[in-house]
């Protein structure tokens, strides 16, 4: 993509200091720490079974007390995605915010981060298994997060002329369950795409109050489904 250093510099200028950007909504977690100097540390880690350890332990390894004092903003993926993963991200952000003074927190769509990481294709959709014959969907032409049944998703993909599906399903599974005959790409959170999205969040002043740091589950609870 473009020059990460210029994106990092713009981000810390807007935030007025260091910025953390992270997402643990999917099997691959992503964490970026942009220091006040604009220097960037970034990594991906397995968040399928140890999202908390991957995120918190990395932060402990990376950040000194002076780094924490220089932290001015957190931008986190709120989902939709893994029930455990999105809770870990939200809880971590709340914990850091509670221990810091004047720290601003912003939330972004995890599906939009995935979508921005797939900019090389014009007509595509992000399709994430939400279990119980449902999927989280973001179609590039629509630009919004939705939850659909498998059948609804098949119809929506056909209507939008989707050429590529970005999914946690294999190509064979996407073919079988969605009838998709185009390309299938694995989930990938591009660091620069995340930084640009974080910049947009701060520029748009979409700051969250503590009670608003809530995962975007989108799925109905069992009780709601029974009703």
Write the pLDDT tens digit of every residue in 181-216: 899 999 999 999 999 999 999 999 889 998 899 999
Go through the chain and tell me how many residues it has. Answer: 227
pLDDT, residue 210, reads 87
Nearest Cα to Cα of residue 24 among 76, 97, 71, 96: 76
Is the CATH code 3.30.420.40 the one for domain 4-109+190-226? yes
Taking only the tens place, the pLDDT of each residue in 95-108 is 999 988 889 999 99
**What average pLDDT does range 166-172 have in this prediction?**
95
């Amino acid at each position: 993509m473009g020059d990460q250093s210029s994106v990092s510099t713009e981000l810390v200028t807007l935030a007025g200091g260091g910025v953390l950007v992270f997402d643990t909504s999917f099997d691959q977690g992503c964490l970026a720490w942009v220091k006040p100097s604009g220097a960037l540390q970034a990594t991906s880690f397995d968040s399928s079974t140890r999202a908390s350890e991957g995120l918190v332990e990395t932060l402990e390894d990376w950040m000194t007390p002076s780094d924490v004092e220089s932290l001015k903003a957190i931008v986190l993926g709120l989902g939709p995605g893994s029930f455990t993963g999105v809770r870990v991200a939200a809880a971590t952000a709340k914990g850091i915010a509670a221990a810091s003074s004047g720290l601003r927190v912003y939330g972004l769509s995890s599906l939009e981060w995935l979508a921005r990481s797939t900019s090389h294709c014009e007509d595509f959709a992000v399709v994430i298994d939400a279990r119980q014959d449902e999927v989280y969907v973001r179609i590039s032409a629509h630009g919004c997060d939705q939850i659909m049944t498998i059948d609804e998703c098949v119809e929506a993909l056909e209507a939008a002329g989707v050429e590529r599906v970005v999914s946690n399903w294999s190509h064979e599974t996407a073919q079988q369950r969605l009838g998709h005959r185009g390309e299938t790409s694995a989930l990938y959170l591009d660091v620069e795409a995340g930084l640009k999205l974080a910049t947009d969040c701060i520029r748009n002043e979409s700051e969250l109050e503590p009670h608003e740091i809530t995962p975007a589950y989108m799925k109905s609870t069992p009780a709601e489904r029974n009703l």
